Amino acid sequence: MADIIVPELAESITEGTIAQWLKQPGDTVEKGEFIVELETDKVNVEVISEEAGVVSELLAAEGDTVQVGQVIAVVGAGSGSTASAPAAQSEAKEEVKAPEAPKAAPVAEETGAEQDRTIASPAARKLAREKGINLSEISPVDPMGRVRVQDVSAHGSAKAPAKAASAPAASAPKEDDGRTTREKMSRRRQTIATRLLEVRQSTAMLTTFNEIDMTNVMALRSRKKDQFFDQNDVRLGFMSFFTKAVVAALKKYPYVNSQIDGTDIVKNNFYDIGIAVSTEGGLVVPIVRDADRKNFAEIEGNIGELAKKARDNKLALSDMSGGSFTITNGGVFGSLLSTPILNGTQVGILGMHTIQKRPIAVGNEIEIRPMMYVALSYDHRVIDGKDSVGFLKTVKELLENPEDLLLNS
């Protein structure tokens, strides 16, 4: 018999959420086979079984928060079914737990077959037994019909006379009347919300803006994109230009590439640039390592690989830790202007926006040019206005004269 334990995830991560059980009680599991998927603050992690055998017990339900080191399942000796039909799962669960199960109320005993046919999480089934509730009488919220702990608790509360009597006649709007829909925030979304709020509360964040004439970058890209693709098998985008410009500006203004540690300012002598990527689960920021040492093709290749891993939910913790500065591009969604929020302990983040043709004074003439607003949010505790404005002005000048950018890289 072997315990399935929540493994060490990362130095800063102490807990996770059961996202999905890949095996159910009664299922056979091989040594090294995935048994559960955990959702953490940053990535999803699949946990393997260290022993071969049969899953005899699940000690946490999908959606439960679990701690590093916590036992969440038990694998016993023997062989079982590799099928995962709900009825088979329920029967295996009941057989294993039968010696310990308290006597159920008569209604549960009389309808045991119905209970076995009901799809329910292990925790919900256990709670129903303890309360003497027939699972087949519960109306689950889950559209797939799976009964969870909260469904059992709600059913029990509804049957309690005292609680029912004290409920006001006109309470909160019912969700099933179509006026509202309640959705539990994912663990990642909760973490994003908490950390963004912490940044706003713990930093002296300000934002400075500028605009970039994208004419020359767009012309250079148009001339070279086919040759670039033929030589490197990767497309030439705008992000590599911005990454190179940011690195050059960070070298000129090193405090923008730093962080606060207590009463110390730690200036980073490396250039690991975070590239914000939007996924269904929320925003993630994988890192392009040593961007100062990479050419345009290497940067574009890294960004493409990391973005695909992010969308496929395959990012590792190592892909997102240790960045020194972040670039986020709201322009892909059509944003014209925004104020990006600092990422973690970093003191600077560059916001790109959509390219829009606008009338611009060029000498004594008015011309229509493709313009982009850019924003630098920074921690004023470390960076003064002079450095923030100078940093953004450097990025602007390099992008408006991309030949200089190529020479500097």
Q: Which residues are CB-contacts of 314 (< 8 A; sequence separation ≥ 6)?
A: none
Instruction: Give the number of C-alpha atoms closer than 13 A to the C-alpha of residue 39, restricted to the C-beta side.
Output: 19
For residue 25, give both structure tokens: 């009680």
Active-site amino acid positions: 380, 384
Alpha carbons 26 and 146: distance in angstroms, whole number: 18
10 Å CB burial of residue 188 (0-12, 13-18, 19+) is buried
* DSSP-assigned letter for residue 9: -
Which of helix, strand or coil describes residue 139? coil
**Which residues make Cβ contacts (< 8 Å) with residue 205, sequence separation at least 6?**
199, 341, 342, 377, 378, 379, 380
State both tokens at 207: 């934002």
Identify the sign of the CA torsion 139, 143, 144, 148.
Answer: negative
Taking the C-alpha atoms of 364, 366, 369 and 371 in order, what is their torsion angle to the nearest 10 degrees? 80
Reported as type and span, the H/E element at residue 38 is strand 34-39
Q: CA 354 to CA 337: how far, in whole Å? A: 8
Q: Which regions of 59-111 does DSSP assign to beta strands (E)? A: 65-67, 71-76
